[in-house]
Amino acid sequence: MNAPTRIYLYRRYERFWHWSQAVLVIFMLVTGFEIHGVYQNFGFQRAVEYHTLAAWALLTLWAFTIFWQFTTGEWRQYIPTLNRVLAMVRYYAYGIFVNAPHPFHKTAGKKHNPLQRLAYVTLLAMVSPLIWGSGFFYLFYGYWKDFGLDRTISLEWVALAHTAGAFMMLTFFIVHVYLTTTGHTPFAHIKTMVTGWEDAEAEEGAAGKA
């Protein structure tokens, strides 16, 4: 007779931030790979302009989000842990196929499973600096000379670093989107990310016990 418990996992700003970031990142991947010469859609000039605009928008969003993370203390959600990582790996490699209980239970204080934490921290500590750093230099290429930077860095390396970052982001995107389907229903995680509420009643573990 467990009363259905719903937990409020993602607050309004968090959801706004997540989805606008998603849109911007997808848009930047689309325009970025066009600039890279992979295909033609907007045309080179428009692709560059849109990419630049989206970069500024994302930068602004990040500024607010960093502020939000620290004022709410939510930044702690990203502290990596190795605790029960193996259990998570075992779950994705085997348990998920045999309806084994999910080894991790979300709470408002711990929204991300250990693997998620590792993935997000990698994104924050490696991929983002790579993309933002190279993107920043790329964007202000015309001003390198004013700071004598043209003698120390080359556009080629900046561009290649940026491209490498884009491939990493695309890979993250694919895996991230797939993993949203691993909730108790294929759309459960997405629903949570939209409404903010997670249905605790239907969690695998709870269902198994019932």
Partner 1 sequence: MSQKKTWLAAGLLGAILAWSTAWGSTPPPVAPATVPVPAKTPKAASKSTVDHSKLKELQKKFASGPEVTKACLNCHTEAAKQVQGTKHWTWEYSDPKTGQKLGKKNVINNYCTTTISNEKDCMACHAGYGWKDASFDFAAEDNVDCLICHDGTATYRKLPGDAGHPVYERKEFPHGSGKFVEAVDLQKVAQSVALPRRSNCGSCHFYGAGGDGTKHGDLDSALKNPGKYLDVHMDAKGLNFTCTTCHATAGHQVSGSRYAMTAAQTGPAHIRGKADASPASCQSCHGDKPHKESILHAERLNTHSDKLACQTCHIPQFARDSIGTETSWDWSTATQMGPAGKPIFVKDSAGRRAFDSKKGNFAWDSYLVPEYRWFNGHVSYKAKGDVIDPACTVEINHPDGEPGDADARIWPFKIHRGKQAYDTENNYLLVVHTAGEDDTALWRNFDWQKAIATGMQTAGLPYSGKFGFVSTEMSWPITHMVAPKTDALGCAQCHSANGRLQDISGIYLPGRDHSRLLDSVGWVVVLLSLLGVLIHGGTRVVLHFKHKG
Of the candidates 44, 64, 67, 197, which one interacts with partner 1 according to CB under 8 A? Answer: 44
Q: Residues with Cβ < 8 Å from 188, sequence gap 6 or more? A: 198, 199, 202
126 in contact with partner 1 (CB under 8 A): no
Residue 91's Cβ-count burial label (10 Å; 0-12, 13-18, 19+) is: buried
| Sole window of 13-21, 104-112, 162-170, 201-209 interacting with partner 1 (rule: CB under 8 A) | 162-170
| Sole window of 60-68, 104-112, 121-129, 174-182 interacting with partner 1 (rule: CB under 8 A) | 174-182
86 in contact with partner 1 (CB under 8 A): no
Alpha-carbon distance 173 to 179, whole Å?
10
Alpha-carbon distance 41 to 28, whole Å?
13
Of the candidates 129, 181, 187, 197, which one interacts with partner 1 according to CB under 8 A? Answer: 181
Q: 13-37: string of b/e by CB count within 10 Å (b at 16+)?
A: ebbebeeeeeebbebbbbbbbbbee
115 in contact with partner 1 (CB under 8 A): no
120 in contact with partner 1 (CB under 8 A): no
Please report, as ranges, the residues that interact with partner 1 according to CB under 8 A.
35-37, 40, 43-45, 48-49, 52-53, 92, 96-99, 141-143, 145, 154-156, 159-160, 163-164, 166-167, 170-171, 174-175, 178, 181
